[in-house]
Amino acid sequence: MSEKTVELNKKVPAFNLPATGDKKIRLSEFKGKNLVIYFYPKDNTPGCTTEGQDFRDFYKKFKKKNTEILGVSRDSIKKHENFKAKYEFPFDLIADEDEILCKLFDVIKLKKLYGKEHLGIERSTFLIDEKGVLRQEWRKVKVKDHVEEVFNAIE
């Protein structure tokens, strides 16, 4: 895949990646629906757990607005399955171990942890409309009130 990344108000390139529930997720499956894709650093860490729970708690409201949710990290399917089951997430989690989606959405950033630098996922959320066009993006997300903000952005 090329080094092309998504742009606001442009169609998001097709993708096909493994997800929980033994699925392969394709962007084309969501035609006619809004899609929220949220990227998070790691399963079972405090911020990522809270964010997932917030999306879970708002899930029925999102569905009423014809919107599906997908979570993405570089964790394996096995880790995702455990994380999803533990917190009863009603949406699928994509295992982006090869960083295909991470690169497409340009969410791999140099991060500092305990004074050491490493490449990791910058918490980010993207709203794609029913035609597959990227309508909004949130980068460097702070978890508090984020899900509500995303929900309110859906027209």
Length of the chain: 155
- CA 65 to chain centroid: 18
102 is catalytic: no
Give me the catalytic one of 35, 48, 104, 147: 48
Task: Write phi, then psi, for 131 (nearest 5 degrees).
Answer: -100, 5
Find where tokens 């096995």 sit. Answer: 78
CB 137 within 8 A of CB 127: yes
* Catalytic positions: 48
